[in-house]
Amino acid sequence: MALSGSDASSDSARLAPSTTGDSAQRARPVIGLTTYLEQAKQGVWDVRAAFLPEQYFDAVAASGGIAVLLPPQPGPDAAAPAVLDGLDGLILTGGLDVEPSLYGAERHPSTDPGRPDRDAWELALFRGAEERRMPVLAICRGLQLVNVARGGTLHQHLPEALGTERYRVGGGVFATNEVQVQDGSRLAGLVGRGPIEVHSYHHQGVDRLGDGLVVTARTDDGLVQAFESDGEGYLVGVQWHPEENREDRRLFAGLVAEASVYAGSRREGALA
């Protein structure tokens, strides 16, 4: 059946893609968040599944990003580039301890059992992100992994190194600690300089700082609580858990803003 002029015009309008809607979607950067593969129960099922607390991806969404979960993949060195091609930013999340052999240390009795699948996956993702100058936010374990990737080492048990349990009270309860943020740092630009209260849950921490990293926050006992890259790329690492504190969503907002810039530069490069 032939369409009248008005009908054809109306039909074309329905079929044509919405430029405004597409632009709005493109303006929301895609942020990858690393996860574990853990045994999980749901209804009658008891299976291994990707696991990450909702607070992480809720903070990304609230900051204007689109959260994508990144469970460990077989053949991480081959899989990571394909995954990173679809991302605008990367968050290395919290979790169990990094394998000590990766920084040349023997396992301490208090160190968590090794998770080589996640270590290898996150190292491949981080190194690929650095090559692309993709924005990275590293949280708790993520900060420790970045330090190791840059050639640094870790204190495997802070109660022995510092004589305190102040950073992990246990029982799934986050400790509150005060950290001093370095004036003039990228971190200070996000959360303000001076002392801020943060949520902690860790028993390891930075010992020798990795190459190309600058400390941007410490606690009064001297422990590194945050660092950033001394280069041009966007890398912010914090030892605390910003997803547990609504005020700390400024860290997620900062990453999403940088990821938007990164996404824009990728689009411009594709059109050039």
Listed residue (185, 69, 91) closest to 146, CA to CA: 91
Within 8 A by CB and 6+ apart from 233, the residues are 130, 133, 134, 135, 136
| Residues acting as catalytic residues | 140, 241, 243
Do 227 and 209 form a contact (C-beta atoms < 8 A)?
A: yes
Query: If residue 234 lies in a helix (H) or strand (E), which one and from where to where?
Result: none
φ/ψ region of 56 (left if φ > 0, alpha if ψ in -120 to 50, else beta) reads alpha
Cβ–Cβ < 8 Å for 119, 98: yes
Could you give the CA distance from residue 211 to residue 57 in angstroms, rounded to a whole number?
Answer: 30
